[in-house]
């Protein structure tokens, strides 16, 4: 049977890792109607419980279970905004994993918003962030990157 026509879009904003989760948690008070806020992190102790935000804790980032959790979090969406501070482990890897799944299941539009590390964080973070952004660019054509200087 054909799915009944909808006159609204399913929009989700997902934050990955500590930086991405902080960004999304900061949006919660805005309470934008029709937009679902989701935080995805590997460390539940870093979660604040906030009304209007759905938290997802990933166990082993590379496990099948984690892939299923990520798939479920975006399935059926029309528009995704993905955000992370690049250069750490969780956000850098998981934002790419989700962009890849989004491409595979043909989410119509995925937009990534990522921050580069602060200069004071050192060269290795910058390299990790650049590698992560290159990986993300393989499956996400719309990347907005912000320098933190």
- Which residues are near ligand GTP by CB under 6 A? 17-19, 22, 42, 85, 87-92, 115, 117-118, 121, 125, 148
Distance CA 51, CA 23 (A): 15
Q: How far is the CB of 30 from ligand GTP (least distance, A)?
A: 17
**145 contacts 108 by C-beta, under 8 angstroms:** no
Q: Using CB under 5 A, which residues numbered 87 to 126 contact Mg ion?
A: 90
State the minimum distance, in angstroms, from the CB of residue 52 to ligand GTP. 19
Q: Which does 125 bind (CB under 5 to 8 A by kind): ligand GTP, Mg ion, none?
A: ligand GTP
> Which residues here bind Mg ion, judged by CB under 5 A?
18, 90
């Amino acid at each position: 049977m054909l799915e009944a026509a909808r006159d609204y879009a399913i929009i989700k904003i997902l934050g990955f890792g500590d930086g991405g989760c902080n960004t999304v948690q900061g949006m919660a008070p805005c309470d934008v109607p029709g937009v679902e806020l989701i935080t995805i992190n590997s460390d539940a102790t870093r979660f604040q419980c906030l009304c209007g935000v759905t938290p997802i804790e990933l166990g082993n980032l590379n496990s099948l279970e984690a892939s299923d959790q990520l798939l479920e979090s975006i399935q059926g969406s029309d528009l995704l905004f993905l955000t992370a501070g690049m250069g750490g482990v969780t956000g850098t890897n998981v934002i790419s994993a989700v962009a890849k799944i989004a491409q595979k299941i043909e989410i119509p539009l995925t937009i990534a918003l990522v921050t580069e590390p602060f200069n004071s964080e050192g060269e290795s973070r910058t390299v990790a962030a650049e590698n992560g952004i290159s990986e993300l660019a393989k499956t996400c054509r719309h990347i907005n990157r912000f320098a933190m200087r």
